[in-house]
Structure 1
């Protein structure tokens, strides 16, 4: 099968509290959901009707079975998900204290995790090569053998063969607890940027990749690194996207924040959907921005990814609608 979007990297079980506004020590009950950024991105794009799959690994345990079941339920192909004997499926706990406090606690990822045991020889290179969009993250570069597997996947998609709707996207998703040093992260990001046609990150993540500076300066450096589209998330100032000849800003979409943790993944899946639809960059950015806002206004991540109709309705309500 040829996929509209094939993602690669982290997967986990998200354990989210049913008690809102209290610290984790005081939570009395939880719900469980599929989690892990690239897996959530695949779910988000599937909600927009795209053919998606994820390359990842779980533990050989009941939580691994649960994640297979959830991927299938959301319409994400789980054919590239395999178990790792002897490792447990990771779980991620969070506290939900709106509007800005959502601390994460990772379990089962140290010293390694199943999704960091993806091996280059086990990756379906044909599926990677044939996917219209291939999405990977900086987190997947933090440790071998996943580091080499991800680079091998990137090398299967020569940048000169991209364009006309085909993209390799590097999500600059940097989490310092997974890395030995920021210098190591920077080196790995720069190596993989050589193969990417799009880079997406917030100000801090872009600083790891190309150094500190204004959003425009960071976007320009990403373009100099070789990508054709640089996307810099600016927090309360919105989102900036630049190409060699275009500068586009999407203003924030105000919502009442319930849980900000899944907004970036919703943005990613919606961004891919807009690219696949062939929309102009302003519409792609506005649609992705609104999709992220919707998830921020909800509690869960994967379970609460919006449909295209919900996103377009929100844009209409904010006076920013367009003909999709």
Structure 2
């Protein structure tokens, strides 16, 4: 039997087209960079950068951008065997505007329907999902059928008495993906009952539990069934509460923010790495915060995910390593990011 994966993620994939001019409206941008995108995909990339064997379950269009996605996954070392084409729908494209330090509007092009919402239960490799050391799914996967049923089926298949792996529910709240956002909570409740870890920012926790105060939200997530609740508080850092009473609340790493959109996915990949390493809770949170800060100081998302040596450098008090993608200087009239702006691990692409 093949060796189980360290991490399998399930959810969004697409192409990010990010402006190569910061601090200006999208209407004035004339040059874009093309990057692999989608939250679940970025988490798989982030964990792979830290040495983990990863794969992603998702779908693309049967088009040139779909070809690009497979190429990029291979370059990042993420197994693409469960990334399959859908002839009826195009590969999603996402644009953003970049106004550091804390304004990054996103524009999703996922109509008439995103292929990653066409994941069917019958197509899942349930044995691989059950055997992986960590399974990561997202709230977006619950917004439409057949992805909703497939996601819940994968969770139920892992939730067995002899299951020793970790199941992470990334709350990943995107109201524009739901026909009626009020319908979300029952599906979030179903997913939480099968998960061992829940991760979300304050808005996402409120959708899932009705609670927005960090400690109340963490307690509500634990009551819903998880063993570990991770509440991302943006500039106030991150709170983690375990069912056994262990807690950790750590501040963000101060950085000059360039683009906060990938910080949450870097945080997620580093969270996977730390939990799989068996580290104590505060160390995991500090490591994940540092990974998120590095990406917040860079332009892109997937290609900006840090290597272990880079995270170690930041944790040791060193500077954030240079971005692998050149960051243009903002126009003089654009708002600039103040030195020491805390990176928000609550922002995700």
Q: In which range does the TM-score fall when normalised by the shorter chain?
A: over 0.9
Contact 1:162 1:197 in 2 (8 A): no
Contact 1:159 1:196 in 2 (8 A): no
How far apart, CA to CA, are the structure 2 residues paired with 1:83 and 1:205?
A: 30
Deviations 1:146-202 (A, max 9, x none): 000001100110154344xx2000000000000122321111100111100000000
Gaps of 5+ in 1: 320-324
State which of 75, 78, 83 in structure 2 corresponds to 1:76.
78
User: Equivalent residue for 1:322?
Assistant: none
Residues 1:200 and 2:199 are matched in the alignment: yes
User: Equivalent residue for 2:229?
Assistant: 230
Q: How does 1:228-307 map to 2 (within 5 A)?
A: 228-244=227-243, 245-307=245-307
How far apart, CA to CA, are the structure 2 residues paired with 1:256 and 1:152?
A: 42
User: Equivalent residue for 1:41?
Assistant: 43
Deviations 1:89-119 (A, max 9, x none): 0100011111111111111x12311000000
Greater alpha carbon shift after TM alignment, 213-222 vs 74-83: 213-222
How far apart, CA to CA, are the structure 1 residues paired with 2:309 and 2:217?
A: 33
User: Equivalent residue for 2:101?
Assistant: 99
RMSD over aligned CA atoms reads 1.2
User: Equivalent residue for 2:326?
Assistant: none
How far apart, CA to CA, are the structure 2 residues paired with 1:162 and 1:210?
A: 26
User: Equivalent residue for 1:313?
Assistant: 313
SS at match of 1:242: strand
Contact 1:159 1:195 in 2 (8 A): no
How far apart, CA to CA, are the structure 1 residues paired with 2:162 and 2:202?
A: 29
Q: How does 1:120-159 map to 2 (within 5 A)?
A: 120-158=121-159
How far apart, CA to CA, are the structure 2 residues paired with 1:162 and 1:241?
A: 23
How far apart, CA to CA, are the structure 1 residues paired with 2:163 and 2:88?
A: 39
Shift in Å at residue 33 of structure 1?
0.3
How far apart, CA to CA, are the structure 2 residues paired with 1:118 and 1:51?
A: 22
SS at match of 1:192: helix
Normalised TM-score (structure 2):
0.89
How far apart, CA to CA, are the structure 2 residues paired with 1:110 and 1:196?
A: 30
SS at match of 2:111: coil
Gaps of 5+ in 2: 320-349
Shift in Å at residue 238 of structure 1?
0.5
Q: 1:162 to 1:216 in 2, by over 3 A?
A: farther
How far apart, CA to CA, are the structure 1 residues paired with 2:163 and 2:316?
A: 33
How far apart, CA to CA, are the structure 2 residues paired with 1:288 and 1:159?
A: 28
How far apart, CA to CA, are the structure 1 residues paired with 2:28 and 2:256?
A: 24
